[in-house]
Structure 1
Amino acid sequence: MTDGFHDALVTRATEDMPEKFFDRFMFNLHPDGDTAPSVILGAGVYPPRNVVDGFVVLTTGTEQRNLRYSTEHSETDGASVGPLRWDTVDDNRTWRIQLGENKTGLELDVLWQARAPYWLGSVDVENTDGNVTSFDHLFQPGRYEGTLTLDGTTTDVGGWYGLRDRSRGVRTMSGGQGLHIWYQAQFPDRTFGFLLVEDRQGGRILLEGAVMHDDGRLDDITDVRHDLVFTAGNDLASGTVEVATAGGATYRIDSDASAGGGYMAGGGYGGHHGKVRGRDHEEFDVYPLDGTVGPKTLDSALTDRCCTFGWNGETGYGIFEFALSRSSSYTYHLTLRR
């Protein structure tokens, strides 16, 4: 783990800044005791390209509504894109997120408050095509206060869980990956958070993360093993992960991923972030949650599924992000033996 992260987005290009430099954030928001609605939203700036883009992915019980927005960064105030506005009220502790009227029917005015220290690492991967990926990666659990309005009905979101993800640098991931997991399970006094990437033979490319305790302790995760159940369409149904930590703890956590939705193609994760699209470019679409849309049918297999988790007799909530390679050379390899 590294330390010291300046939270505000880097918005000005410098002479030594790589052309593919980005600075992005993502927040998720979901109620305790339920998995709908699940909200995932985020934005990114690309100073060398004068681009800022953002997205909203809203999953209800029956459908997923997606909004994608892009514009010239020089035409904004540096802290908004389309209907989405953000403010780093207190560095690495408090953000204000506002979402104005838009085609998803969702509006927000919320404060996100950190409930534990953040985990900050550096993702450095040499890709099979020779390009190098190198970026800072931060994630941190929190809770919300404020209001959510969906299709005209306003709800107080006080106490709802949500995690933020920050990344900054150059990301060019290509080829060779088999399984990707970004795991964020929030329980009453701790959060399990890690990023795991395996190759198509089941070998480990990357593991980083920690158990983030509300009392301020960070216990680095040193090993993750998994036994996951996927549908024929590469969608996650359920599964178990076993997490080992530097402090000598071992946790076995079950997950119920049956809620559906969270397909990140709806947020532009099929390679669309950072593209120059001119001023005020907007896209909106809806995915039915009837089995006709999924990781094999979209331009990205990446899925952020809102899940219920079980550990040590306690119930937790959060996001299980996953993607399986669609290459015919890949078959999922479980690593956890019961």
Structure 2
Amino acid sequence: MEVQVLQLEDTFHDPLVAPGTPDLPERFFDRFMFNLHPTDATAPSVIMGAGVYPVRDVTDGFAVVTTATEQRNLRFSTELSALSPAAAGSVGPLSWTVLEPNRSWRLRLADNPIGLGCDITWRARTEAWHGGVEVRNADGVPSTFDHLFQSGTYTGTITIDGVRTDVAGWYGQRDRSRGVRTMAGGQGLHLWYQAQFPEYCVGFLHVEDRTGGRLLLEGAVLHTSGEVDDIVDVRHDLTFGPGLDLETGRVRVTTASGAVLDIDGDARAGGGWMAGAGYGGHHGKPCGVDHLEYDVYPLDGSVSPATVDSALTDRLTAFTCDGVAGTGILEFAHSRSRSYTYRPSLV
């Protein structure tokens, strides 16, 4: 597998592509994801997202909330052709509006079986990092997709089991990806790291093969002042517990300007298993009109990255860098293959 990161222009077309857009590849997708959490790394942690797959005539989405005791998962899908013009920008109970491209989105989640609702507005607090990723897979089928992430804060309210909470000032990272993505096997470690601090966010995607070799590194330190300092190196020393679940760890980040950041993370809060959001190969699969399903994962040790159908986990994490406390989402996946053993690169 050969991976190349391609810098894009300074602008990104933020709205999702419209149904009926011509000349798209069969596996084309356009997706977004937002996370939402208090600034002190306490529950709840909320993750919502949706995507369109025009050639497959599919649009789907998800909402996940992790409380102090459980993770509740909601997944929904329908046919794009079944949506009326008035329903554009929605799927199932989730609807979205791009208020200002690359600066502000509104998200609403209507009544649903997991008891989570919201009417929130995300506003950027940093510039976005975006680039293009080109993956030449061993099977000869290329993956080419655009990728963007950006730090922000929220206003509005969320409701859990009828209890409404004002989320003004809560942190949130958004992620956008668009193109054709067919990732081949052979990955050992995956990290999508979003550590938010009062004056900056450390955001990167780092992927290694099963020998510890780097397949992909993209990202930057995004400052609230507007500076974007590209990340050129990442080293890690992580601790995985039972079920391949990340517990704690240190990451050393080096930037293009020469800054070196040692960041400690405590990821023992639990939850965030993205199998509950349909990851693991379910996105974009036709399920008919108005499909909806839900389930609950208890935080009692019975669920782990080793027991669900995808090891990918978006964990609410408390971070510390140079004595400054931060919080954010640490997305990780430790390969379940017996051919892989985690080895720290920070020594």
TM-score (normalizing by structure 1)? 0.98
Q: Deviations over 1:51-106 (max 9, x none)?
A: 10000111001100000000011222220011100000001100000001111111
Q: Name the amino acid aligned to 2:55.
A: P
Q: 1:4 aligns with which of 11, 17, 39?
A: 11
Matched, 1:309 2:319: yes
2:3 — aligned with what?
none
Partner of 2:246: 236
Residue 93 (1) aligns with residue 100 (2): no
What is the distance in 2 between the residues matched to 1:89 and 1:264? Answer: 27
Residue in structure 2 matched with residue 224 of structure 1 by the alignment: 234
Distance 1:231 1:34 in 2: 20
Opposite residue 328 of structure 1, the aligned amino acid is R
Aligned to 1:125: 135
Q: Which amino acid aligns with 2:292?
A: E
Deviation at 1:33, TM superposition (A): 1.3
Structure 1 distance, partners of 2:78, 2:59, is 6
* 3-state DSSP of counterpart to 1:104: coil
On the 8 A contact 1:59/1:262 being kept in 2, the answer is yes
In the other structure, the counterpart of 2:4 is none
- 2:170 counterpart letter in structure 1: W
Counterpart of 1:20, as a letter, is R
Distance 2:89 2:22 in 1: 23
Report the alpha carbon displacement of residue 35 of structure 1 after superposing the two structures with TM. Answer: 2.5
Aligned position for 1:28: 35
- Residue 158 (structure 1) aligned with residue 168 (structure 2): yes
Residue 321 of structure 1 aligns with an amino acid whose one-letter code is E
SS across alignment from 1:233: helix
**1:123 to partner: Cα distance:** 1.5
Gaps of 5+ in 2: 1-6
The aligned counterpart of 2:26 is 19
Partner of 1:109: 119
| Percent identity of equivalent pairs | 64
AA at the equivalent of 1:143:
T
Map 1:169-208 onto structure 2 (within 5 A): 169-208=179-218
Q: Are 1:45 and 2:55 an aligned pair?
A: no
Is 2:41–2:328's contact at 8 Å kept on the other side of the alignment? Answer: no
Residue 68, structure 1, aligned to residue 78, structure 2: no
Aligned AA (1:75)? A
Q: Partner amino acid for 1:218?
A: V
Cα root mean square deviation, aligned: 0.9
What SS does the corresponding residue of 1:208 show, helix, strand or coil? Answer: strand
Tell me the CA shift for residue 15 of structure 1: 4.0
Alignment correspondent of 1:336: 346
How far has the Cα of 1:200 moved from its partner?
A: 0.3
How high is the TM-score relative to the length of structure 2?
0.96
Give 1:242 deviation, angstroms: 0.2
Between the aligned partners of 1:174 and 1:331, the Cα distance in structure 2 is 19
2:56 maps to amino acid: R
Greater shift after overlay, 272-281 or 121-130?
121-130
Does structure 2 conserve the Cα–Cα contact (< 8 Å) formed by 1:39 and 1:59?
yes
Q: In the alignment, is the contact (CA less than 8 A) between 2:41 and 2:316 conserved in 1?
A: no
User: 2:273 — aligned with what?
Assistant: 263
1:78 aligns with 2:88: yes
Task: Choose 73-82 or 236-245, whichever is displaced more.
Answer: 73-82
- Contact 1:113–1:143 (Cα < 8 Å) also in 2: yes
Superposed displacement of residue 50, structure 1: 1.0
1:319 matched to 2:329? The reply is yes
CA contact (8 A) 1:11 1:46 kept: no
Residue type matched to 2:120 in 1? V
CA contact (8 A) 2:97 2:107 kept: yes
Contact preservation (8 Å) 1:128, 1:175: no
Which consecutive unaligned segments of at least 5 residues does structure 1 have?
Answer: none
Q: Say whether the 8 Å CA contact 1:253–1:310 is kept in structure 2.
A: yes
Whole-Å separation in 1 of the counterparts to 2:35 and 2:235: 25
The CA distance in 2 between the partners of 1:73 and 1:37, in whole Å, is 32
One-letter code of the match for 2:300? Answer: D
